Chains A and B, each alone.
Chain A
Amino acid sequence: MKGRPGLRDAAMAILALIVVLAIPLLHRSPAFEDFIIRLSAMALFATSLNLLVGNTGMVSFGHGLFYGLGAYAFALTMQMTDLPLPAAAVVAVLVTAFGALGVGAICVRLSTDYFAFITLAVQMLFYSIIISWQSLTGGDQGLRGGIPRREIFGFELASQLHLYQFCAVIAVFGLLALRHITASPFGQTLRMIRDNESRASFLGIVMWRARLIAFTIAGAFAGLGGVLAALFVSGAYPELADWPNSGQAIFAVMLGGINSFLGPVLGAMILLALNDVVTRFTEYHGLVLGMVILAFALGLRRGVLDFLRLAWPGHLK
């Protein structure tokens, strides 16, 4: 806790990255690598949502819009231009950030309930645009033709191992950046807004501006997750921007714990693992998933990591 918490976080991130990168060198498992690739996208998606839900108390039901926007912006940039992959990723994240700025400008002044509804409505609008604008997006078939796999720094992303490494690096650094944001004075400002909006406004915090910045940052990081998702599926599909996908992120946040920074990552892990295991045994995986979520909600009354932190205070950050 004391001293240089920033350095400690960075050290933990590097350590985690080394472990994840070392695993395929010891043992190759396509299923595990697939899992980590999907987890990187989902972890960024869910953790960025938690910047709104857990940190600021803004429950957005439309976060999938930015995940989908990131995926489409990236895939289209790769298909339509000769930009190298990192540049296309930056373009995609910028497009998503501007998208979030625009949507946020409409939404963030609304009270909690209306904010949730309007974010959902804007997402459905975006989904409809994807479906109808067939010439650009391929409509409900998704963006076909794949993503040109250009080599970057000797990385060949058509290889699963290289894709795995790329996604792990992006996800860890993305999470580290989000961690820094939540630990910054601005992150503290978001908690003030969540705790006591009226007092925060008496202290000189401009409510709509703080919310809009948070919404834009969260959208940008969801877009980064979308970039990874597009790489994984080698294209972009309307499902990425559909509302059940927003629901998945909310589930991940609730399952893992909204008050712990790594809660949504853990939630994403649980959710993906459940999906993988349950779909092997039954086609009614939604039913099983629902029961698990109910068990968590009614049994623990909070996310797993929040629960553990309460059970062993002081041992877990």
Chain B
Amino acid sequence: MKLEIKNLTKTFGGVRAIDDISLHFPSGSLSAVIGPNGAGKSTFFNLISGAFAADSGEVLLDGRNILRLSKTERMHRGIGRAFQVASCFPTMTVAENLMASVTAHLGRWGNLACRFPPPGVRERADTVMELVGLTQVANVRAAILSHGDQKLLDIAIALALEPKVLLLDEPTAGMGPEERWRMIERVRALWEQQKLTLVFIEHDMDIVFKVASTIRVLCYGRVLAEGTPDEIRSNPAVIEAYLGTEADAA
């Protein structure tokens, strides 16, 4: 599914966090969103997924505006997301996390008649666990998983809802260099297998330039630049505002 953003705007008490952003993510694309801290990247995701209400603009999913829909309705239309800080259900095992998510997604969260899990749910959860590679820790409580596995579980919960468009907010946040690459390879594999339209926020430029087919650079709530990795690397405005400062800092 293709995702189109038109003239999206959001202000927080006078600050334009997202300022008239228009972007196009073609169906089946793998894109990165980068930008300095406070550029509005996470807010951008929150507006698409429906966590925040936008002030104005359009979010088109295959041409249909979903901006006035609730986050649940958007989820049912195929928008999935994972969070910057891994968001799962800590007292439940990995398998329970996924079975509960699938149950909720099927609209059966209020079911009082049968035992948990309802029929068919376990199979779907198993499939997702295999997909992301969490089968070995299926019966481990989420709270005691490694950081990387928690991030994977967060993505797995999103995948359990069978999204068409997947938004990943810093899938490699807080990971060591080696773990980062393993994680991003897995994300890439998922994107390929599941034919997702995948958008991820990332701070590691090596990863971004290597993995993403197109890159969008946000700065102060505006689109500073967009293009292929090569175009972004040589874009003077990006170097000035973002890459340059990274290099200075390093």
Contacts and interface: CB of A to CB of B under 8 A. Distances in A.
Interface in A180-213: 180-181, 183-189, 191-192, 194-196, 198-206, 209-210, 213
B181 interface: no
Interface stretch (B3-11, B70-78, B232-240): B70-78
Contact of A185 (B71, B92, B114, B161): B114
Nearest to A4: B115
Contacts of A290: none
Contact of B110 (A6, A183, A189): A189
Interface of B: 49, 51, 71-72, 75-76, 81, 83, 87-92, 96, 99-101, 103-105, 107-118, 157, 161
B112 A184 contact: yes
Contacts of B72: 201-202, 204, 206
A196 B96 contact: no
Contact of A199 (B88, B109, B118): B88
Most B C-beta atoms less than 10 A away, residue of A181, A191, A199, A206: A199
Contact of B116 (A183, A196, A200, A203): A183
A5 interface: yes
B71 A192 contact: no
A250 B235 CA distance: 63
Given A200-B104, A204-B75, A189 B109 contact: yes
Contact of B89 (A181, A184, A192, A209): A192
15 contacts: A5-B115, A183-B115, A184-B111, A184-B112, A185-B111, A186-B112, A188-B96, A189-B104, A191-B100, A192-B100, A196-B87, A199-B87, A202-B81, A204-B72, A204-B104
A203 B75 CA distance: 7
A198 B87 contact: yes
B104 A203 contact: yes
Contacts of A202: 49, 51, 71-72, 75, 81
Contact of A187 (B51, B76, B90, B116): B116
Contact of B113 (A184, A189, A206): A184
Contacts of A180: 112, 115
Given A184-B115, A191-B91, 5 more contacts: A183-B115, A189-B103, A189-B109, A196-B90, A204-B72
B109 A185 contact: yes
A181 B113 CA distance: 8
B117 A185 contact: yes
